[in-house]
Amino acid sequence: MSQRKPAQIHGLLVIDKPAGWTSRDVVNKVSGILGEKRVGHAGTLDPMATGILLIAFGEATKGVRWWQDASKTYETTVRFGSATLSDDAESPVLRTAKVPELTLERINTALPQVGELLQVPPAVSALQRGGVRDHARVRKGEVVVREPRPVRLESVEVLHIANPDIALRVTCGAGFYIRALGRDLGEAMGSAAHLTQLRRTFGGGFSLADAIGLEAFQQLPEESRLQHLRPLPAALGRVLPSLTVDDAMVLAFRQGRQPVLPTDLRGDVLILDEQGRAVCVAIAHEDEAGARLVVERGFVAPEAADDAPTEPPAD
């Protein structure tokens, strides 16, 4: 049995996804351009959606779960008066309803409260049951029963009102569906609604100012493309607190020990060596002497990541 070829490219690429592409389409395109097969992404965007898509290569694929779990911000347009199967403009209208009076007071009253809440996902989604995604079941004509799931809404702001549309800015946790928010808002106002536009403006610690468009990336000279990859330590440091340790402590982590350090850090912590390389992510448990650090994910320090720039050049 042949061994998998080691990754040659390491780091995180921040792409501004264009409309009409699936997240997987973008990942496959960029992977083909760079010639690196060890690749993953953090946070699926629907084909209609645009904005921040984080694509990890090589050793950086080990950090996907932390970028995925970080808060995300979206700007979206909700259109009242009609509901669709997918809760966005990508599917036919299922029913129509009278457009409600769209005042700031009425909208704010109908919007959900900030905090933890239960949300029913859209019928057309990437959620899986028995290895089959819900969107595939729906397209086969199956009726998908969706159970409410706990999600986190951090903030929601009405940007403007232009009957029958309103624009919102939403910051939320992982697993939150903006499409479901628009659908539920329509129902809460005694009408129907769906999204006509969705853009992720922030995710995984990165904003649109950090991103490069897919077309612009494709047009870069080959020697310039790798300059846009963020090295793992800097990129993961956007979403996790970090702690630098000496060589003896690095060895302790490599040997699977659980050192206790005099720090008040708790939860997931990025451990760096004195050269600024990522050693591991450890979870810090409370201990009477500080924090007991238990390795969750170890990293190899590839030369490609070590030599990468700390920040890509401005576009």
Instruction: Pick the more confident residue, 197 or 139.
Output: 197
pLDDT band for position 4 (cuts 50, 70, 90): low
User: From CA 286, how far away is CA 264, in angstroms rounded?
Assistant: 8
| Residues 151, 256 share a domain | no
| Residues 297, 177 share a domain | no
Q: Does residue 11 belong to any structural domain of this protein?
A: no
Q: What is the pLDDT of residue 194?
A: 97
| Residues 98, 189 share a domain | yes
Number of domains in the chain: 2
Q: Does residue 76 belong to any structural domain of this protein?
A: yes
Residue 178 in this model has a pLDDT that exceeds 60: yes
| Residues 259, 169 share a domain | no
Residue 106 in this model has a pLDDT that exceeds 50: yes
Which CATH number characterizes residue 146's domain? 3.30.2350.10
Closest CA to 12 of 313, 300, 311, 315: 311
Tell me which residue range forms the domain holding 262. 238-307
Which CATH number characterizes residue 272's domain? 2.30.130.10
| Residues 255, 176 share a domain | no
Q: Does residue 131 belong to any structural domain of this protein?
A: yes
Residue 127 in this model has a pLDDT that exceeds 80: no
What's the predicted TM-score (pTM) here?
A: 0.88
Q: Does residue 14 belong to any structural domain of this protein?
A: no
Chain center to CA of 19: 17
Catalytic center residues: 46
Q: Does residue 198 belong to any structural domain of this protein?
A: yes
User: From CA 27, how far away is CA 197, in angstroms rounded?
Assistant: 22
Residue 132 in this model has a pLDDT that exceeds 70: no
- Whose tokens are 């697993």? That residue is 175
Residue 51 in this model has a pLDDT that exceeds 50: yes
